Chains A and B, each alone.
Chain A
Amino acid sequence: MNFTEVLRTAVFALRGNWMRSALTSLGVIIGIAAVIVMVSVGQGTQAEIDKLVSGLGSNRLDISGGSGVGGGGVRLAAGSRYTLSVDDADAIRKEIPEVQYVAASLRGGTQVVYAENNWSTQWQGVQPDWFDINEWVIASGQAFDARDYSGAAKSVILGDTVAQQLFGDQDPVGQTVRLGRVPFTVVATLKPKGQGGFGQDQDDLVVVPLETARRRLSGATALPPGAVQQISLGVGRAEDLSYAQTEVEALLRQRHKIQPGDDDDFTVRNIAEIVATRTQTTRLMSLLLGAVAGISLIVGGIGIMNIMLVSVTERIREIGLRMAVGAGPGDIRKQFLAEAMLISLIGGVIGIALGIVGALLVGKFGSLPVALNGKVVGLAAGFSIATGLFFGYYPARKASQLDPIEALRQQ
């Protein structure tokens, strides 16, 4: 029996019991739709993590001042003691060749004022490599030049959010804004990065040269000379990261004269490690979601097998007759397999449509990120075919192995 004939016979058989066929498909529809929605959510979350990785840089380290012990023995947060200095940054730059970028920085909060607009934001006082490490790109204007850094120039670069808030559509470059009470010249704006991996607005900041920040913005705080809050560094190759981390730790311990056995007075934060943990969590979540979807698909498949077995029993005389008039075991197997495949394929097509709609709705109204792509749909289509094949095979084989004499004798 050729393919069209097998298909025609299968369609005919399914139409004859269309209510049953539709209900059986429903199991596959739900299973496939669940696979699409769940996998899309899993992939969406993974994509968020990837964005986080690229947003923070997977080959960077962040060193902050040691968590100090304040008055009354209260343990203070990392960076609350100024144990790092510009000299530390210079030493790292000089002595650890694997480190490609080094930037010491200070930060704080301030009001930015332009004309009648003002905006509360974060400032960052940075060294030149900071832009590369954090992958900031100048949108318009010029980056700080060497004299800005060395001369503690009152130049500022605005993040996109700040520029929008203060200037709207106007070009801020060349304008004067006040940070607190100090007037600064806007030399550039940054290209927007959007929301960060932790949901914060990355573009809500202003950037000034490190020495400017020390003299003009953190004046009120009594800083030790040359002190910085953070040193960020980037290695050229990601595989050097943990080696660089060890080197940096050793160098800083030596420079800070920390005795063996004593605690570090600084903290090295490896973003890659944090990201790896989060990726693992996400992967586990995706796996669980996928498993739930997979189980519902299996339940759908069992439904198909169940109905096909019932169908074989019900149509045992038909099978016997078809065998008597010349249908071979292969023909019978093909016929029942085609029916199971058709149920699961139709279920698959409808399930894919529903799954796509469902994923889009979750993406639109749900709080979960959704990444819908052809791969997910292809996977679902493959699953629906596999379901039909897997769960249809046993009943089809059972039908094909019937003895025509026995089958014809059934009432």
Chain B
Amino acid sequence: MNASEIEARAPRAAVIQTRDLRKVYSAGTEAEVVALRGVDLRIEPGEFVAIMGPSGSGKSTLMNLIGCLDTPSSGTYHCDGVDIATLDAEQRAGLRLEKIGFVFQGFNLLSRMSALENVAMPMGYANVAREERLRRAQAALDAVGLASRAQHRPSELSGGQQQRVAIARALINRPPILLADEPTGALDSRTGEEILALFKQLRDADHTVVLITHDAEVAAHADRIYEMRDGELHAAAAQQASRP
């Protein structure tokens, strides 16, 4: 997909739009750290974008901002059209519930719950009725190929399976944005490939996937790659080849 094609789909607004986004920690003190120095980022619906960078480059800060876990020091961020600067902690939680699905390096499944309950968990905060929740969670597990593992605890699943459960959980409230932080970091390369393939399927199903990684090989699966360096975001070469 090239720029003109994106323009052609114009009526659809960007899901992620940041302008001159800055983040400063411990502002005004000697420990002041400038993590982001004016990031402009625009991601359209249905894109698979990777943000790459070494640790300390500010990519975690950017991810926390995009994920509505944090607020910028200055600049604006519109998440699916909503300006997060105006939101308090409770409203940001509501926004995460609706708009963002998180996938973590360490899976972050609740160990005492079955895979099914883990997937269903976020819907509890959306006040979805329990029967409906379990039905949808089962469907989500079917979609990531774990239909038969629904009643297993995370400890009874392999790393790849656990990450699939986490992805099912991230998608359960049908958020427009899927935010994956080093999703393959804890997996062997073959399983990592499977997970990345799953992301591509999701992109093809019109999900927006933002992949944060330090690994160029992993980033290479994305359609667009950005690189974070010292708090600044730079566009890297597009990966046309990965698109079928």
Contacts and interface: CB of A to CB of B under 8 A. Distances in A.
Interface of A: 1-2, 5, 9, 12, 16, 317-318, 321-331, 404-405, 408
B125 A324 contact: no
A318 B110 contact: yes
11 contacts: A5-B124, A9-B124, A321-B108, A322-B121, A322-B125, A325-B101, A325-B125, A325-B170, A326-B94, A326-B96, A328-B93
Contacts of A408: 104, 108
Interface string B67-102: 101100000000000000000011001101110011
B121 A325 contact: yes
B125 A405 contact: no
B184 interface: no
Interface residues of B, number: 28
A44 to B, nearest CB: 47
B93 A323 contact: yes
Contacts of B102: 324-325
Contacts of B104: 408
A1 B127 contact: yes
B155 interface: no
What does DSSP make chain A's interface, helix, strand, loop or mixed? helix
Nearest to B175: A326
B11 to A, nearest CB: 28
B27 interface: no
In the A-B complex, the 6 residue pairs with the smallest Cβ-Cβ separation, listed nearest first, are A326-B97, A328-B93, A325-B122, A328-B90, A321-B108, A326-B125
Given A318-B110, A408-B104, A331 B64 contact: no
B169 interface: yes
A137 B102 CA distance: 84
Interface in B170-219: 170, 173
Given A318-B110, A325-B121, A408-B108, A331 B93 contact: yes
Contacts of A321: 108, 110
B213 to A, nearest CB: 17
A329 B108 contact: no
Contact of B69 (A9, A327, A328, A404): A404
Given A405-B64, A405-B69, A326 B127 contact: no
A46 B113 CA distance: 54
Nearest to A321: B108
A408 B107 CA distance: 11
Nearest to A5: B124
B236 interface: no
Nearest to B172: A325
Contacts of A405: 64, 69-70
A406 B132 CA distance: 33
Contact of B67 (A2, A5, A318, A324): A324
Contacts of B69: 323-324, 404-405
Nearest to B107: A321
A117 B39 CA distance: 112
A321 B104 CA distance: 10
A150 to B, nearest CB: 89
B126 to A, nearest CB: 7
A322 B120 CA distance: 12
Contacts of A12: 112-113
Contact of A327 (B67, B93, B112, B169): B93
Given A2-B127, A5-B124, A324 B96 contact: yes
Nearest to B169: A325
Given A321-B110, A324-B69, A324-B102, A329 B89 contact: yes
